[in-house]
C-alpha cells in the first residue's frame, strides 16, 4: 500500500547523509537510505532506475547532475499529452536533457534528486 503523500514528504525531510548505500545491480549505481525509503513508500523503483540510466549517460557533460521530477498542470497535460517530465541539469540551470512521461503513478507532484559519483541521493543527503 502506498504511503500518503504528506507522510512521504514529511519523512523525506529526515534523511541527512546516509548510513548505508544500496546498489542497482546491472547499473552499479548507488543510492541512499532516503531513496530506498522513497522507492518502497511510493513504489517508484522505476524512477531510480530511469534517473540512474540517464544521469550516467550525462556524466561526460557534468560531474554533478540535478534531476527534477515535475507533474505538469492539467492544462499543460491536455496541451502536450504528457503527465510528467524529468529535467536533468548541471546544477547551474543548464538543461542537459528532458524526458517526458505519458502517464505516471508517482504520488508526489515534484521531487529533486542529485546524482554525484555514481550515487543517486536526496538533496538533504548530499
Residue 26's pLDDT is what?
Answer: 86
Specify the DSSP class assigned to residue 15.
-
pLDDT tens for each residue of 25-65 = 888 899 999 999 999 999 999 999 999 999 999 999 999 99
Residue 1's pLDDT is what?
Answer: 47
- How many angstroms separate the CA atoms of 126 and 115, rounded? 9
| Across 2-24, average pLDDT | 89
Residue 54: in which H helix or E strand, if any? helix 45-58
* Total-model pTM: 0.92
Q: Which of 70, 67, 68, 46 is closest to 57 using CA atoms? A: 67
Q: Which of 124, 115, 113 is closest to 44 using CA atoms? A: 113
pLDDT tens for each residue of 96-126 = 999 999 999 999 999 999 999 999 999 999 9
Residue 3's pLDDT is what?
Answer: 62
Amino acid at each position: 500500500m502506498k504511503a500518503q503523500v504528506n507522510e512521504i514528504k514529511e519523512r523525506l525531510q529526515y534523511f541527512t547523509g546516509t548510513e548505508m548505500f544500496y546498489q542497482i545491480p546491472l547499473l552499479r549505481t548507488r543510492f541512499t537510505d532516503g531513496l530506498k525509503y522513497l522507492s518502497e513508500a511510493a513504489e517508484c523503483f522505476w524512477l531510480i532506475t530511469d534517473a540512474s540510466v540517464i544521469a550516467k549517460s550525462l556524466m561526460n557533460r557534468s560531474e554533478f547532475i540535478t534531476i527534477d521530477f515535475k507533474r505538469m498542470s492539467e492544462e499543460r497535460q491536455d496541451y502536450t499529452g504528457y503527465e510528467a517530465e524529468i529535467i536533468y541539469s548541471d546544477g547551474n540551470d543548464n538543461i542537459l536533457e528532458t524526458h517526458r512521461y505519458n502517464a505516471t503513478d508517482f504520488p508526489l507532484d515534484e521531487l529533486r534528486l542529485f546524482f554525484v559519483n555514481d550515487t543517486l541521493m536526496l538533496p538533504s543527503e548530499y
